């Protein structure tokens, strides 16, 4: 049950020197084209989860700061909505080019505040930049329609108009990419925004806005406010209920998404919610087992399991169950290397905070008490720090265990033996979540049947990574409303206006 570990430096001064050298590290929020402090003067620290050192202090803003930011965005919208699609495209393209030039700087900040390995942080930057690249193109393709009229001498026009100010509330697991995926889309549509990043990872968002300013994004189009947990409820209320806000775009937990949805309902506001998942990873006898194992590592342990599309339940057919479990255990043992994200060779960093660590540990403890067996891992690697959880493989998992029913959001793979396609579907669909599912089979008919019958917004056949800028990303059931990425991601931020042209014979 040994997990490969990489040592943690105890020399905090080394870390502090490294932080000071970060080119895009900012200590202020950004409103109306200016770097600002909070109205109260309050601040809060942002920690490195690997060693709990303070990276930077940022403003602890309140509802008054939020109200001002929304008003600024509303004022800027009156101008930005009239900027031509061609010019909006050019500005987003400039932002993309600027971010590409500073990819390494962005990755360093992501690793510092989220804990993910530097190689993964660089991957997130490339992924995040792909949305700016994509939406720069989409800006010029938000087309309307001319509908054949049922009346003579009349013309029906459907045009798309930007919805207005968007409140953008982003999570800590992909602190840069969730900014670009949302803001690139809403800017392409002609909207403005106020961003509230996670209190755990605001520095990546501030760095992204610094580069937006360098790229020539007009003042007021993007605004960013930071606040600690104590001010989050009041700030969130403003971002959901202020009459100038037209849409709330949120990525995060289903619990918080429901709260925001309720507040948005008071003003009948548009919502775009990308919420939690409970993804099944199904392997049938016809599958290429080596491929399935390689992609199981990607689907489970990318970002140390802290991904909404991360595989939760591994449903493995009894005919290949033993082969898959032994292969999975061997790969985890050799490829999951725990340590700080800045250390060469590390593939799994710390969990983002103590709350997350306690949750993952609690899920594993509950499963073990009820009969699950950890073939590898299963506990906190205390010698590395208080947030390093061992990459874990659980077998003998049953439906009465929390780990079977709840989103894990950590490096724990729970394996369940299945005997048929029908059983796989029954187990996979027995959840309120419906974000992503993974199926491994070389039976073409089976692949199409599973795609059709799985109650999930996204299904990957023979692959463990499904997100990109081009497809529509999103879930069904309690995993959300709306889609991100693709042309549909930009259309989320538009309204269809119907114009009847009559009296044309005069």
* pLDDT tens, residue by residue, 128-156: 999 999 999 999 999 999 999 999 889 99
Per-residue pLDDT for 181 more than 80? yes
Of the candidates 350, 322, 354, 324, the one whose C-alpha atom is nearest the C-alpha of residue 337 is 350
- The pLDDT of residue 10: 42
% of the chain with per-residue pLDDT over 70: 96
223-247: pLDDT as tens digits: 999 999 999 999 999 999 999 999 9
Least confident of 3-7, 171-175, 400-404: 3-7
- Is residue 439 within a helix (H) or strand (E), and if so which, with residue range? strand 436-440
% of the chain with per-residue pLDDT over 90: 94
Return d(Cα 383, Cα 115) in angstroms, integer: 17
Spatial CB neighbours of 358, under 8 Å, sequence gap ≥ 6: none
- Is residue 373 within a helix (H) or strand (E), and if so which, with residue range? strand 373-376
Kindly name the residue from 63, 124, 274, 421 that is annotated as catalytic: 274
Q: What pTM value is reported for the model?
A: 0.94
Domains annotated on the chain, with CATH: 12-276+481-495 (3.40.605.10), 279-430+436-468 (3.40.309.10)
- Residue 445, classified by CB atoms within 10 Å of its CB into exposed (0-12), middle (13-18) or buried (19+), is exposed
Per-residue pLDDT for 314 more than 60? yes
Would strands 34-36 and 29-31 be described as parallel, antiparallel, or unpaired? antiparallel
CA 495 centroid distance within chain: 25
Alpha helices in 139-201 (DSSP H): 177-189
Question: Rounded mean pLDDT of 186-195?
Answer: 98
Question: Rounded mean pLDDT of 148-174?
Answer: 96
Residue 421, helix vs strand vs coil? helix
- Whether 274 sits among the annotated catalytic residues: the reply is yes
CA 364 centroid distance within chain: 24
Q: How many CB atoms lie within 10 A of CB 466?
A: 17
End-to-end distance of the chain based on CA atoms, in angstroms? 85
Q: What is the CA radius of gyration of the chain?
A: 24
Of the candidates 225, 165, 232, 239, the one whose C-alpha atom is nearest the C-alpha of residue 196 is 225
Would strands 270-274 and 480-481 be described as parallel, antiparallel, or unpaired? antiparallel
């Amino acid at each position: 049950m040994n997990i490969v570990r990489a040592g943690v430096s105890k020399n905090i001064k080394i870390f502090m020197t490294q932080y000071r050298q970060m080119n895009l590290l900012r200590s202020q929020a950004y409103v109306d084209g200016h770097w600002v402090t909070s109205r109260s003067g309050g601040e809060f620290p942002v920690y490195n989860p690997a060693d709990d050192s303070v990276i930077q202090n940022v403003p602890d803003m309140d509802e008054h700061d939020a109200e001002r930011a929304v008003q600024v965005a509303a004022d800027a919208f009156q101008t930005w909505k009239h900027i031509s699609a061609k010019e909006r495209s050019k500005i987003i393209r400039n932002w993309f080019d600027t971010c590409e030039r500073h990819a390494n700087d962005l990755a360093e900040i992501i690793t510092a505040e989220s804990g993910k390995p530097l190689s993964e942080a660089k991957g997130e930057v490339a992924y995040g930049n792909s949305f700016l690249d994509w939406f720069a193109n989409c800006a010029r393709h938000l087309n309307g329609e001319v509908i054949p009229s049922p009346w003579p001498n009349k013309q029906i026009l459907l045009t798309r108009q930007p919805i207005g100010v968007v409140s953008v509330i982003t999570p800590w697991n992909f602190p840069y990419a969730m900014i670009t995926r949302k803001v690139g889309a809403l800017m392409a549509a002609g909207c403005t925004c106020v961003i509230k990043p996670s209190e755990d990872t605001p520095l990546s968002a501030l760095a992204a806005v610094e580069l937006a300013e360098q790229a020539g994004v007009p003042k007021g189009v993007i605004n960013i406010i930071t606040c600690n947990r104590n001010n989050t409820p009041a700030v969130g209320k403003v971002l959901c209920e202020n009459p100038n806000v037209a849409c709330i775009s949120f990525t995060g937990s289903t619990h918080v998404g429901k709260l925001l949805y309720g507040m948005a309902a008071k003003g009948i506001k548009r919502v775009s919610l990308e919420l939690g998942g409970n993804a099944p990873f199904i392997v049938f006898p016809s599958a290429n087992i080596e491929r399935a194992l390689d992609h199981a590592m990607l689907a489970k342990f990318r970002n140390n399991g802290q991904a909404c599309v991360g595989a939760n339940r591994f449903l493995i057919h009894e005919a290949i169950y033993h082969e898959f479990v032994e292969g999975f255990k061997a790969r985890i043992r050799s490829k999951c290397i725990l340590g700080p994200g800045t250390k060469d060779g590390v593939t799994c960093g710390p969990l983002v905070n103590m709350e997350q660590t306690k949750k993952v540990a609690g899920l594993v403890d509950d499963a073990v008490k009820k009969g699950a067996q950890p073939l590898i891992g299963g506990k906190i690697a205390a010698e590395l720090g208080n947030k390093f959880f061992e990459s874990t493989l659980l077998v003998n998992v049953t439906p009465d265990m929390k780990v079977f029913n709840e989103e894990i959001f950590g490096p724990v793979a729970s394996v369940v033996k299945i005997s048929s396609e029908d059983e796989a579907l029954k187990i996979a669909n027995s959840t309120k979540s419906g974000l992503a599912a993974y199926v491994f089979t070389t039976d073409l008919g089976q692949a199409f049947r599973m795609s059709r019958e799985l109650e999930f917004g996204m299904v990957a056949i023979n692959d463990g990574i499904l997100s990109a800028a081009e497809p529509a990303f999103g879930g069904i059931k309690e995993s959300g409303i709306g889609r991100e990425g693709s042309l549909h991601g930009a259309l989320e931020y538009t309204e269809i206006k119907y114009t009847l042209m009559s009296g044309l014979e005069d």
